[in-house]
Amino acid sequence: MSFSEADVQGALKNLTDPNTGKDFVSGKSVKNIKINGNDLSLDIMLGYPARSVWDEIRAMIEAHLKAALPDSGSIGVNVTSKVVPHAVQRGVKLVDGVKNIIAVASGKGGVGKSTTAVNIALALAAEGARVGMLDADIYGPSQPAMLGITGQPEMLDGNFMAPLTNHGLQAMSIGFLIASDDTPMIWRGPMVTQALDQLLRQTRWDNLDYLIVDLPPGTGDIQLSLAQQVPVTGAVIVTTPQDIALMDARKGLKMFEKVGVKIVGIVENMSTHICSKCGHEEHIFGAGGGEKMCAEYHAEFLGSLPLDIRIREQTDSGKPTVVADPDGNIAKNYRQIARRIAVKVAEMAQNHSTVFPKVVVQNT
């Protein structure tokens, strides 16, 4: 044998994962190194879903090892992903069947939060994750229409509901439970928070890696109560570049900080307008606002998205951009943002509560 496991580890210490910016060894991705004569095989287990780039990562690692270990024979690299649970704010009960909850929020309405949320969810699912969508906007549920889902959930065991599914997502919304699309929800705050708690905890989520929660816009009592009751791994803030939207986005960011929820990052929606006739692109709402806010609050700039008529048309038809045009540039943007969110979540502290057995003390 002309090389050892230490040589393989040493070679991979010099190779950076393009998605995390860390080498594969310090990222704890290298598993099961096996050397048979001059032949080598190993597993790379990523902590984030990345099915679309598995082949790219495999080829990169194999080429790097070939160059670093000139005496090697065949090199086999198996790339997979495994998502684990991460810590949430203290004192909040976890949700059965859900590893991580990502809240998508905005300081004000009209910034494209729900459209961004559903496309992020679909992008994570396209990358191989098990994903759910909870429509927490009780007053204005939009996810049923965006996902093209009709009908009511099936009741299970009397107290639980089965999530409805489409495009590979498990979904739950108050919109599935009301009589018609034009039925108004004339509820006070406590009723809203109670309804959300029931939607969250009385849905039989099936082994989700991520549950995306589309929060109602704003930063009032309802939003604060929801942020305190939902066990959130991290929050994504959606804004537009204009000053008034950024002012409200800052309030949303501070709200999550107040209740101990980590900020995953900020998405700038409607960053540029693309003319449907000539393709001309311009910053009609201003430029650089999202990045400036990120620098101000030491948050991650997750990416920007255009104001494009196709996004609206596709979402209104019940087939959002990621599934309607998966090979297009806008879907690519959503996938990059979703992968960045998953990488940021993977870097957060893990939740080890499921590792330890529950101890029950009884009087006999």
The structural architecture, per CATH, of the domain 98-346 is 3-Layer(aba) Sandwich (3.40)
- Contact assessment for residue 84 and residue 241, using Cβ atoms and an 8 Å cutoff: no
Q: Which amino acid is at 184?
A: P
| 319 or 286, higher pLDDT | 319
pLDDT in tens, 218-243: 777 777 777 788 899 999 999 888 77
User: Could you tell me the pTM of the whole model?
Assistant: 0.89
Q: Which CATH number is 5-81's, of 1.10.10.10, 2.170.190.11, 3.30.300.130, 3.40.50.1000?
A: 3.30.300.130
- Contact assessment for residue 139 and residue 107, using Cβ atoms and an 8 Å cutoff: no
Q: Do 5-81 and 98-346 come out as alike in CATH topology?
A: no
| 361 or 288, higher pLDDT | 288
Euclidean distance between CA atoms 19 and 50, whole angstroms: 9
* pLDDT (mean) for 188-210: 85
Q: Where are the domains of the chain?
A: 5-81, 98-346
| 184 or 31, higher pLDDT | 31
Of the pLDDT bands very low, low, confident and very high (cuts 50, 70, 90), residue 183 is: low
* pLDDT (mean) for 107-134: 92
pLDDT at 281: 73
Beta bridge partners of 35: 40
Euclidean distance between CA atoms 285 and 245, whole angstroms: 10
Tokens standing for residue 249: 């986005």
